[in-house]
Amino acid sequence: MALVNHTTREINAKIVYYGPGLCGKTTNIHMIYHRIAPTQRGKLISLATETDRTLFFDFLPVELGTIKNYKVRFHLYTVPGQVFYNATRKLVLKGADGVIFVADSQRAMLDANLESLANLRDNFSDMGIDLSDFPMVLQYNKRDLPDVLSVDELNTALNPRLIPSYEAIAMTGEGVLKTFTSVSKQVLQDMQKHPERHNFSIGDIVSRADKAVVEPLDPVQPEPSLADSAMAEAKPAMAALDEAVEAGMKVHLGQPHMEDSQIILPFEVVTDGKEDQFQLRVMIDMDAPLAKRFKVFVKGVKK
């Protein structure tokens, strides 16, 4: 549960990405990490063994609001996807303040989704936590692949309570920030409603805040935690972040093809309503030494 640092006036909240193997949990973490300004994030840490891997990083998003003048620092974790690594899953899940369940939308992955969701419910039950009363959202990932279940089919199988759910293509970033924003809102709201189950007391925070002597500071414009996001006054509702997510960067991939011994992948980057087109080009020279056989560069394309 949340840890309070009264010295830095921060509440540390833990969000865990859960789901079956290869569903896109790691891709979500990487996508968020690279969208955050370096000054607002910690290191991306991979705890790897021969059989599984756990990713972790923390960041302090200035738009996400405060609780009694305490900023909230989010720590994001993934768990191993395979159920037989359940001991590691339980260890990472312990102390979570919110969960994002990443489901693989492919029809063939439905049983794996159901098994992983049941495993999440069982692990929380062992900790004395009722998943039906816990900050959680669902992400339906891989919507760009063929033979995916419809959202209605996924909701019927995985989401009978109709908690917030989002379609996503994590590889391009689509839906990634919306999913995270949603669970962040739930966590902040739950902390203010039920501080006792997040391991801190609002009364204690208020008491310390009242006693604190705050020296006047020169106004400083903090760097936005998301690229191109508009800074706004911190609010628990986090409307500013919602707007930033809506206006965030999107990448549309074209059809790769060969041209003059080059592999060409066209792609379009959309930011703030502006569309820019590029080509990722791979030059191939099979007669060259292996280390010099491939040259990769990106070329801008005028419309």
E strands of the chain, at which residues? 3-5, 10-18, 45-48, 53-59, 66-67, 70-78, 98-104, 136-141, 165-167, 250-253, 257-259, 262-271, 274-284, 294-301
Residues of the chain with CATH 3.10.450.630: 250-301
CATH 3.40.50.300 for domain 3-246, yes or no, is: yes
Q: What is the pLDDT of residue 131?
A: 93
Residues of the chain with CATH 3.40.50.300: 3-246
CATH 3.40.1550.10 for domain 250-301, yes or no, is: no
> What percent of the chain lies above the pLDDT cut of 90?
36
What is this structure's pTM?
0.68
The pLDDT tens digits of the residues spanning 106-152 come to 999 999 999 999 999 999 999 999 999 999 999 999 999 999 999 99
Integer angstrom CA distances of residue 104 from 75, 140, 184, 236: 23, 6, 22, 31
Residue 245: band (very low, low, confident or very high) from pLDDT cuts 50, 70, 90: very low
